[in-house]
Amino acid sequence: MQFTVLMSVYHKDQPKWLEEALDSILNQTLMPNEVLIMIDGPIGESLNDVLNQYKSKYSIVRTHQLEKNMGLGLALKMGVELASYPLIARMDSDDISIPTRFEQQIKHFSLYDVDLVGSVILEFEDKPETSNIIRKLPEKHEEIVEFSKKRNPIGHSSVMFKKEAVLKAGNYRDYYLVEDYDLWIRMIETGSKMYNFQEPITYMRISKDFYKRRGGLKYYKSIHRFKKEMYKKKYITYPQYLKTNYASFIVTMMPGFLRSWIYKKLLRKKK
């Protein structure tokens, strides 16, 4: 089964982290047929040097330049449309995939009738091998659907999905920091079946501003709009809407150190 790896890069990304991410997807036990990197606006000399280096070394790496910064949702929307193969594996520009990630996902697609395969996520700040913080996520489709009514049920940088299923759901939208969650809900509504491995296949880098970006009025307004949309189309009940919206308001408006503690101690588990 042929597949594209889809990544987006913008000017705030770190060249060293980008190199580590690319190395992890170009040293797999099963190589991708294409690595498509969306360059989301001007990115500067250092990041361009990294991309040019990998393009010259690997013929499967190609880039698509956007004139201005569009945001992750719109960059990925275009990337899905440009992807050459029927399966697409997502990868963030600062995360790391384990060497057997793609082999495991392709095997699952070949054995089962699914449209998306992700995994639980191992989070790290410095080196993945030193971390034991896991974001636990539901395994089977029915559990994923139920979990999605409260929180995001899929780790974005771990997923491989069918291009056809994503397009059927309407593709990515411009939805600040919830563009993935928004897509999963619409995929579920259009009949997509999902599965999460219960061992991590992707290591997610938690940078210093990770918890900061998940706070503030802009993020709350985005979540509020998203949850309200879920309620209006009857994906969640009114009590569920009130409960999740209230919880989101409390967490996004609290000081950063408290938000960090809640994420690490209450929403994550030790490996």
Task: Give the tens place of pLDDT for each residue, 199-258.
Answer: 999 999 886 666 666 677 888 899 999 999 999 999 999 999 999 988 888 878 777 666
Reference 119, options 21, 194, 189; nearest CA is 194
Rounded to 5°, angle at Cα 10 from 92 and 211: 60
In residues, how long is the chain? 271
Q: Does domain 3-207 match CATH 2.30.40.10?
A: no
Question: Which DSSP letter does residue 126 get?
Answer: S
Task: Give the tens place of pLDDT for each residue, 63-95.
Answer: 999 999 999 999 999 999 999 999 999 999 999
Q: Is the pLDDT at 266 greater than 60, yes or no?
A: no
Q: What is the pLDDT of residue 196?
A: 98
**Please, what is the average pLDDT of the chain?**
92
| Angle subtended by helix axes 256-265 and 238-253, to nearest 10 | 120
- Which H or E element spans position 188? helix 179-189
Q: Is the pLDDT at 262 greater than 80, yes or no?
A: no
Task: Give the tens place of pLDDT for each residue, 100-147.
Answer: 999 999 999 999 999 999 999 998 877 777 777 888 999 999 999 999
Q: What is the pLDDT of residue 263?
A: 65
> In a 10 Å sphere around its CB, with 0-12 CB exposed, 13-18 middle and 19+ buried, how is residue 58 labelled?
middle
Q: Which residue has the higher pLDDT, 248 or 174?
A: 174
Q: Is the pLDDT at 14 greater than 80, yes or no?
A: yes
